Amino acid sequence: MDVKTYATVTDLCARLAGRLADDTLRSVREDYFGGEPAQAEATLLLSMAYENIGITAEERELIASTLDDPHSDDLAAVPSIDDVPPVPYRFSAQAPASAPDPSKADVVLSADAARHGGRRLRRAWREPLDGAPDVAKWVYVLQAHENANLLGAFAGLSGRLWVVLQEKWPLEVVVEGKLLPPYQAAAVTVAPQVWSL
């Protein structure tokens, strides 16, 4: 995968956060990072078509630019929408008393964040609204320097979280100071910092 395509799929995955189920998006990101673009594309397109997740004309063009066959039937099966829908979650700095304790995940992610280009790690509690694909849970946002490999940081840190704690809490890796897609922007706006360089 060339540098431009890699940057495009990184951007696409960020745009689709909150619209795709956490496990689906995790699989797509890991497959792209792991050099399995055909598997990533199949998961992405079939999931969007099956779950009726629409994409804008701009998103359709971005996806088409990464495909071997930009006129694929799988892409044609994905519904079209005029505008990006509102984020189907509410984020807050505090979680209910019944929420799982994130302190061990804070330590695991903070320990490796700098190695992956991280500058700040933030954590927010996510509550689903109508139409959200996933349940309430902690969400992490790693703000990284501009030359960081965002998919690589995602794969490395998510893998570490799973190996050490058997946890799959959502993780978004973004470039610090860059304009963010709606999902990540909503999380960062309220997420307290749990680590910084």
Q: What is the pLDDT of residues 66-91, one digit of tens each?
A: 998 888 899 999 999 999 999 999 99
- At 100 the pLDDT is 96
Domain boundaries, the chain: 3-76, 89-196
Distances (CA, A) of 26 to 81, 101, 118, 177, 196: 23, 22, 19, 24, 24
Region 89-196: CATH code: 3.30.300
Percent residues over pLDDT 90 in the chain: 93
pLDDT band of 137, cuts 50, 70, 90: very high
Percent of the chain with pLDDT strictly greater than 70:
100
Question: What is the sign, positive or negative, of the torsion defined by CA atoms of 40, 45, 47, 53?
Answer: positive
- Within 13 Å and on the Cβ side, how many CA atoms surround 128? 13
Instruction: Please report the beta strands in the chain, taking only residues with DSSP state E, as ranges in sequence order.
Output: 89-92, 118-128, 137-144, 171-175, 193-196
- Encoded tokens for 56: 């804008």
At 10-40, the pLDDT tens digits run 999 999 999 999 999 999 999 999 999 999 9
Full-model pTM: 0.94
State CA 89 to chain mean position distance.
Answer: 14
**Separation of alpha carbons 116 and 168, rounded Å:** 18
pLDDT band at 106 (very low <50, low <70, confident <90, very high): very high
